Amino acid sequence: MSQIYISIIICCYNSEEFVIETLESIKKQTYNKYEIIIINDGSQDGTDKLINEFIKKNIDLKIKYVSQKNKGLSNSRNLAVSLSSYDYIALLDHDDLWIDSKLEKQVNHIRNNFDCDLFFSDFFYLNASHKEKTRFEIANKKDFYNPVNLKLKKINCYIELATKGCFIGTSSVIFKKNVLIKNQLFDPNYKFLTDYLFFLEVAKISNFYCSNEILSYWRAHSSQATLKMSKIHSHELSNLYFSFYFSNLLSFIDKMKIFKKHCKLLIKILVF
């Protein structure tokens, strides 16, 4: 098998506090066949200055940097994909981190599972308020499943994602770019659920591979967009649940599971 090259995508908005730490976690990777594509989506803090300084200090790294007016995460992701040079795309949020061997381990997953198009893993919560330290621990304790044990072949994976919610951490994901040729890009109609929508669409046509290894760190902090804009997030999720009722890929039992979750969400929206 030929060498695997990876385009790493980072989309930034007011990221001055964490973006350099995120970029440093890429520099530490034990696998070095990659490029970095950074989209600064209209940051109003010192993000642009910090990124430019990082690029000047790291001329040995292949970095493509675009600073644009604020257009939203979906637009930024789609622009980054259009600028990518390689066959595999790795997503990394601007405030998350990778363990040093993240890419190396996932390249091995790719080599051993060439029938799969999207790869993800467990991730560790930084600054979490709950006792569970990883995403899969939470799934095990609260919902009684481990993603690594799910059926993740195409269609089956779509059903699991629709009925269980998004158990995939964005910063743990690597996917084949050619799924975007078969499929739509990141949906600009959703502000917060664009990654979840993308995973759902890819799951209709592709096999997924899940690793139980903890390969990334998700940072929980008070300024996070999903916390500040929870009402918009809830309404987007409600609209998504509603769309599931018309899916030919979901059984009546699947839709009843979603309906139960939808009712709980609607009560939460009405109360708050």
CA angle 158, 160, 162 (to 5 degrees): 65
> What does the alpha-carbon distance between residue 34 and residue 103 come to, in Å, rounded to a whole number?
9
- State residue 226's pLDDT score: 47
**Tokens (6 digits) for 107:** 């390249």
Lookup result for tokens 């990876």: 6
- State residue 222's pLDDT score: 59
Residues (pLDDT < 70) of the chain are 1, 128-132, 182-184, 221-229, 272
- State residue 204's pLDDT score: 95
In this structure, is the dihedral angle defined by the CA atoms of residues 20, 131, 171 and 209, taken in order, positive or negative? Answer: positive
Instruction: Answer for the pair 180, 102: CB distance below 8 angstroms, yes or no.
Output: no
Please name which of 37, 38, 171, 51 lies closest in space to residue 102, comparing C-alpha atoms. 171
Pairing of strands 97-98, 207-219: antiparallel
Query: pTM for the full model?
Result: 0.93
pLDDT in tens, 208-253: 999 999 999 998 765 554 444 578 889 999 999 999 999 999 999 9
**Cβ neighbours of residue 144 closer than 8 Å, sequence gap 6 or more:** none
